[in-house]
């Protein structure tokens, strides 16, 4: 009954005229940036964070969430029609989706993606509602030692599951933690890495950091790679799948939904990992695996269900424990902090309208996306012909206005430009920027909980291992690092022997 009451509260909140409007805007923007290659939800959300100052917290989070899972829909559209994935998670969809389009089944492939995503989104919403309160209750029993261990585990898993090498990912996490210490110490008021600049006494602004490292750096990188052009778009002869095709897509969609729901919860998981894992699973289970890559409907249904489910269930650790599971969720933490909301289990008790309204808006957003996606296919494909040199200056101007509006200070724009150089250097060197953002977000929380542990234990460092739960988290973190380090060491040894 409690679950039913929460669902009713959430739907009532999400269906209000204002919140429904922002859900629609978020889904529309998400689809748009999913279609346009090179932007992605991470860069877009980081650029739009300053605009959320003017919104109430519920509307802001509903809009940003719509951008995130809306991008999964948009990325599949151009992946299928022109073999140009707009989102990293849509790379797998392009393998069979574009081949289906070349065979005259572009409409069927688009409908398969939409149906699978809707099924996954509906299940993921119920999954979040069912798990949110129990996990929040568990979190109430955690002390500073358990929170410290859990955050360390989250950072380790995020680095282990990233695409970069382990040493590089860990190094970027440490850089992010170091940058988070800039400013006045919260306890002693001592200056830390300010170099005497008074404007740095409040520390580096999260929004400036995100916009520069992910937004501006990505724009400069795309401009350096030249302008993209569209390929010949496939004709849509038939939109809806027939009964046989519905039977073929249902099992992969169900398996992708379950797999994506689980992988989305894991730190570092996310939509891209879920789509690749689903494709590998479907190919392994297929009676004719050689057909994959030649227009197999399971190669579209499974990954599309998985990436949409993962994009939504990645909110679970954020809403219940206050721990971001990936870089986009780290931005959502920043959005909550902008509105003076500290993420974690207390949010569900203190502000249930915000949490349940956000969860309910995910299902509403999936309905909006199904209605939006198929009729506007022609418009999305035409957008691909807009030259980057015309599109990106407008984005840069809006970002500069947003950076200035943070404190009505031109120093924020200058700081953004300086961080752009650092962000672009990171990208050009092949280093992963996402772990840096995770370290920057979790750094203050790790420092705060470490201080509490040491204060309660009167400086006894071994106190961080005093709880069985903490020890379990540290053992899991050590196991994750070892599992990634051993293959690397083995490969280096083999190279030396040769």
Residue-wise pLDDT tens digits, 443-480: 887 888 888 888 888 888 888 888 888 888 889 888 87
Looking at residue 381, its pLDDT comes to 58
Only one residue has tokens 């309905």, namely 367
Which pLDDT value is given to residue 231? 47
Tell me what the mean pLDDT of segment 478-494 comes to. Answer: 62
Cβ–Cβ < 8 Å for 372, 27: yes
pTM: 0.68
The top-scoring range by mean pLDDT among 127-131, 153-157, 299-303 is: 299-303
The DSSP symbol for 37 reads T
Tell me the average pLDDT across 400-429: 79
pLDDT at 39 over 80: no
Write the CA distances from 134 to 130, 137, 245, integer angstroms. 8, 5, 39
DSSP state of 215: I
pLDDT at 349 > cutoff 80: no
pLDDT band at 229 (very low <50, low <70, confident <90, very high): very low
- Residue with the bigger pLDDT between 216 and 454: it is 454
- Compare 271 and 455 and report the one with higher pLDDT: 455
Confidence of residue 20 (pLDDT cuts 50, 70, 90): very high
Q: pLDDT by residue (tens digit) across 112-144?
A: 888 888 888 888 888 888 877 777 677 667 778
Q: Contact, 8 vs 349, CB < 8 A?
A: no
The tokens describing 267, both together, are 């730190």
Helix residue ranges, H only, 339-409:
345-350, 352-373, 377-383, 388-407
Q: Which residue has the higher pLDDT, 268 or 197?
A: 197
Q: What is the DSSP letter of 125?
A: H
Tell me the average pLDDT across 180-205: 83
What pLDDT score does 406 carry? 64
Which of the pair, 83 or 70, is modelled with greater confidence?
Answer: 70
Is the predicted pLDDT of residue 321 greater than 60, yes or no? yes
Distance between CA 467 and CA 453 in Å, rounded?
11
For residues 46 and 245, what is the distance between their CA atoms, to the nearest angstrom?
A: 39
Strand partners, 194: none
Question: At residue 254, does pLDDT exceed 80?
Answer: yes
Q: How confident is the model at residue 24 (pLDDT cuts 50, 70, 90)?
A: very high
How open is the CA angle 121-126-129, to the nearest 5 degrees? 125
Beta bridge partner(s), residue 183: 192
Which one of 14-18, 166-170, 325-329, 414-418 scores highest in mean pLDDT? 14-18
SS3 state of residue 201: coil
Token duo for residue 330: 């780290």
Over the stretch 379-398, which tens digit does the pLDDT of each residue have?
665 665 666 677 677 767 76
Two structure tokens written together for 373: 């996606």
In this prediction, residue 496 carries a pLDDT of: 37
pLDDT at 82: 67
Share of residues in the chain with pLDDT > 70 (%): 80
Residue 230: what pLDDT?
A: 46
Most confident among 32-41, 286-295, 355-364 (mean pLDDT):
355-364
């Amino acid at each position: 009954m409690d679950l039913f009451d929460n669902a009713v509260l959430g739907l009532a909140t999400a269906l209000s005229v204002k919140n429904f409007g922002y859900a629609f805007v978020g889904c529309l923007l998400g689809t748009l940036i999913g279609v346009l290659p090179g932007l992605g939800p991470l860069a877009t959300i980081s650029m739009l964070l300053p605009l959320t100052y003017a919104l109430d917290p519920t509307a802001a989070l509903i809009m940003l969430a719509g951008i995130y899972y809306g991008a999964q829909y948009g990325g599949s559209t151009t992946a299928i029609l022109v073999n140009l994935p707009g989102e990293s998670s849509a790379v797998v969809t392009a393998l069979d989706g574009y081949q289906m389009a070349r065979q005259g089944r572009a409409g069927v492939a688009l409908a398969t993606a939409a149906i699978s995503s809707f099924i996954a989104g509906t299940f993921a919403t119920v999954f979040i509602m069912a798990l949110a309160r129990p996990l929040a209750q568990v979190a109430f029993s955690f002390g500073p030692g358990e929170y410290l261990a859990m955050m360390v585990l989250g950072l380790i898993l995020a680095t282990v599951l990233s695409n970069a090498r382990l040493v590089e990912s860990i190094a970027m996490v440490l850089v992010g933690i170091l940058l988070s210490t800039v400013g006045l110490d919260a306890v002693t008021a001592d200056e830390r890495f300010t170099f005497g600049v008074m404007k740095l006494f409040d520390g580096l602004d999260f929004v400036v950091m995100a916009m520069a490292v992910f937004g501006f750096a990505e724009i400069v990188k795309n401009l350096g790679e030249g302008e993209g052009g569209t390929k010949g778009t496939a004709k849509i002869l038939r939109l809806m799948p027939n009964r046989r095709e519905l039977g073929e897509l249902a099992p992969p969609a169900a398996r992708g939904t379950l797999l994506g729901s689980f992988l989305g919860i894991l730190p570092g998981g996310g939509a891209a990992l879920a789509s690749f894992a689903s494709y590998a699973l479907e190919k392994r289970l297929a009676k004719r695996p050689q057909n994959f890559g030649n227009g197999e409907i399971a190669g579209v249904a499974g990954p599309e269900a998985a990436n949409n489910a993962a994009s939504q269930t990645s909110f679970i650790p954020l809403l219940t424990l206050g721990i971001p599971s990936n870089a986009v969720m780290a931005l959502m933490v920043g959005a909550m902090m902008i509105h003076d909301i500290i993420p974690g289990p207390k949010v569900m008790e203190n502000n249930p309208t915000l949490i349940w309204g956000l969860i309910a808006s995910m299902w509403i957003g999936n309905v909006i996306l199904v209605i939006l996606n198929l009729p506007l296919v022609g418009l999305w494909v035409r957008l691909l012909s807009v030259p980057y040199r015309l599109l990106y200056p407008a984005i840069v101007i809006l970002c500069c206005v947003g950076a200035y509006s943070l404190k009505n200070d031109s120093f924020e724009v200058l700081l953004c430009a300086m961080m752009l150089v650092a962000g672009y250097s990171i990208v050009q060197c092949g280093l992963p920027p996402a772990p840096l953002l995770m370290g920057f977000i979790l750094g203050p929380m790790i420092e705060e909980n470490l201080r509490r542990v040491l204060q309660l234990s009167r400086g006894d460092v071994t106190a961080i291992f005093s709880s069985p739960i903490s020890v379990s988290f540290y053992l899991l973190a050590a196991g994750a690092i070892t599992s990634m380090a051993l293959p690397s060491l083995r490969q280096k040894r083999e190279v030396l022997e040769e």
